[in-house]
Chains A and B, each alone.
Chain A
Amino acid sequence: MTILGIPSAALFSQLLIGLINGSFYALLSLGLAVIFGLLRVINFTHGAQYMLGAFAALLLLKFAGIGFWPSLLIAPLLVALFSAVLERLLIARVYSLDHLYGMLLTFGLTLIIEGLFRHFYGSSGQPYAAPKELSGAVNLGFMMLPKYRGFVIIASLAVCLLTWLLVERTKFGAYLRAATENPKLVQAFGVNVPLLLTLTYALGSGLAGLAGVLAAPMYQVSPLMGQNLIIVVFAVVVIGGMGSLIGAIATGYTLGLIEGLTKVFYPEASNTVIFAVMIIVLLVRPAGLFGRA
Chain B
Amino acid sequence: MTAITRINAVKDQTAILSARNLKAWYGESQALHGIDLDIHSGETVALLGRNGAGKTTTLKSITGLMDRRSGEIKIGGKDISRLPLHHIARHGLGFVPEERGIFSGLTVQENLLLPPIVAEGGHTVEEIYALFPNLKERRHSQGTSLSGGEQQMLAIARILRTGIRILLLDEPTEGLAPVIVDRIGDVIIALRKRGITIILVEQNFRFAQRVAERYYVIEHGQVLDQFSAAELPGRQDWLSDVLGV
Contact = CB atoms under 8 A, between A and B. Distances in A.
A185 B104 CA distance: 14
A180 B113 CA distance: 17
- Interface SS of A by simple majority: helix
Interface string A237-275: 000000000000000000000000000000000000000
A189 B162 contact: yes
Given A174-B114, A175-B114, A190-B116, A181 B89 contact: no
A190 B114 contact: no
A187 interface: yes
Given A185-B97, A188-B95, A189-B162, A178 B88 contact: no
Interface residues on B, range: 20 to 34
A135 interface: no
Interface in B57-99: 63-65, 84-90, 94-95, 97
A185 B88 CA distance: 12
A181 B103 contact: yes
B103 A184 contact: no
A240 to B, nearest CB: 16
Interface string A165-205: 00000010011011011101111111111100000000000
Contact of B114 (A180, A189, A192): A189
Contact of A178 (B63, B87, B89, B106): B106
A175 to B, nearest CB: 7
Nearest to B89: A190
Contacts of A189: 86, 89, 94, 114-116, 162
Given A174-B113, A174-B114, A175-B114, A188 B63 contact: yes
Given A189-B89, A191-B116, A178 B105 contact: yes
A168 to B, nearest CB: 9
A190 B101 contact: no
Contact of A190 (B86, B103, B105, B106): B86
B86 A174 contact: no
Interface string B104-120: 11100011011110100
Given A180-B105, A187-B86, 14 more contacts: A171-B113, A174-B113, A174-B114, A178-B103, A178-B105, A182-B101, A186-B114, A187-B85, A188-B85, A188-B88, A188-B95, A190-B87, A190-B118, A190-B162
Interface of B: 63-65, 84-90, 94-95, 97, 101, 103-106, 110-111, 113-116, 118, 162
17 contacts: A171-B113, A175-B114, A178-B105, A178-B111, A180-B105, A181-B104, A184-B65, A185-B95, A185-B97, A186-B114, A188-B89, A189-B86, A190-B87, A190-B90, A190-B162, A191-B115, A194-B86
